[in-house]
């Protein structure tokens, strides 16, 4: 009934992700987006709204295409393999990105931080999904004896999340395989059960007080 779109929305959003991912929200201009997407400013505004809503769509697409699949890829793995796989994945992606863009979610979190009420729920919620993934790994790992029970599962999961964030920051400054692998190796060593811990599931849980 009306004139049809001449562009592929997904391709345009991918181009927008590339722009925002590389330069952030503020430093990406509408002209940049016009140049990278190939369509005009009028079409951009007509199809996606203003710059903020386009950023939101781009960030959601980044999450749906990058973080979501990665979580799904390791959610059924053995606990230690899940954590290791997730972080090795991140390290590999960080190392083979010549632009060193890091993680768009971390970048957005620091650019908007607390002040932006519109993006906060999406950012916090996504980090919450990642934390939940780590928490699930740790709970299963503590249950099957592969991970240490000397700390609360919640603390260990937060530790994983913090190391993940740290890796994403460190990777932008020192994108060297030895550096990032060293960090991940130390995290995994911190998670594994110590030799003196029993390997028989929950049986020996009562032998230590709760701290």
Partner DNA sequence: GTCATTATAGAACGATCATACTAAAACGCA
Partner DNA sequence: TGCGTTTTAGTATGATCGTTCTATAATGAC
51 makes contact with DNA (CB under 7 A) = yes
Name the burial class of residue 133, with classes exposed (0-12), middle (13-18) and buried (19+) by CB atoms within 10 angstroms of its CB. Answer: buried
Q: How many residues bind DNA (CB under 7 A)?
A: 23
Is the alpha carbon torsion for 69, 75, 81, 86 positive or negative? positive
Who contacts 98 (Cβ-Cβ below 8 Å, separation ≥6)?
A: none
11 forms part of the interface with DNA (CB under 7 A): no
Distance of CA 184 to the CA centre of its chain: 15
- Residue 164 Cα to chain centre, angstroms: 8
Q: Which does 42 bind (CB under 5 to 8 A by kind): DNA, a copy of itself, none?
A: DNA
User: Which residue of 14, 24, 36, 39 would you call a contact of DNA, by CB under 7 A?
Assistant: 39
Question: What is the rounded distance in angstroms from the CA atom of residue 45 to the CA atom of residue 51?
Answer: 8
Contact residue for DNA among 10, 11, 50, 185 (CB under 7 A): 50
* Residue from 10, 11, 35, 41 in contact with DNA (CB under 7 A): 41
Query: Which residues between 126 and 155 bind a copy of itself (CB under 8 A)?
Result: 127, 150-152, 154-155
Any contact of residue 94 with a copy of itself (CB under 8 A)? no
7 binds, among a copy of itself, DNA, none (CB under 5 to 8 A by kind): DNA
Comparison of 47 and 132: residue with beta carbon closer to a copy of itself: 132
Instruction: Give the separation between CA 85 and CA 97, rounded to whole angstroms.
Output: 18
């Amino acid at each position: 009934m009306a004139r049809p779109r001449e562009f592929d929305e997904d391709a345009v959003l991918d181009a927008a992700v590339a722009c925002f991912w590389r330069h952030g929200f503020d430093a990406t201009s509408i002209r940049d987006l016009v140049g990278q997407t190939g369509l005009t400013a009028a079409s951009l505004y007509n199809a996606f709204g203003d710059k903020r809503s386009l950023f939101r769509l781009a960030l959601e697409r980044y999450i749906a295409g990058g973080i979501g699949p990665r979580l799904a890829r390791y959610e059924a793995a053995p606990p230690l393999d899940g954590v290791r796989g997730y972080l090795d994945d991140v390290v590999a992606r960080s190392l083979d990105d010549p632009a060193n863009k890091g993680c768009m979610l971390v970048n957005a979190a620091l650019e908007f931080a607390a002040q932006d009420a519109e993006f906060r729920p999406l950012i916090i919620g996504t980090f919450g999904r990642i934390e939940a993934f780590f928490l699930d790994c740790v709970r299963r790992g503590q249950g099957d004896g592969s991970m240490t029970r000397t700390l609360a599962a919640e603390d260990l999961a937060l530790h994983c999340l913090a190391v993940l964030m740290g890796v994403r920051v460190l990777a932008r400054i020192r994108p060297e395989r030895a550096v990032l692998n060293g960090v991940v190796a130390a995290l995994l060593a911190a998670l594994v059960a110590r030799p003196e811990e029993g390997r028989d599931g929950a049986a020996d849980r009562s032998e230590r007080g709760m701290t």
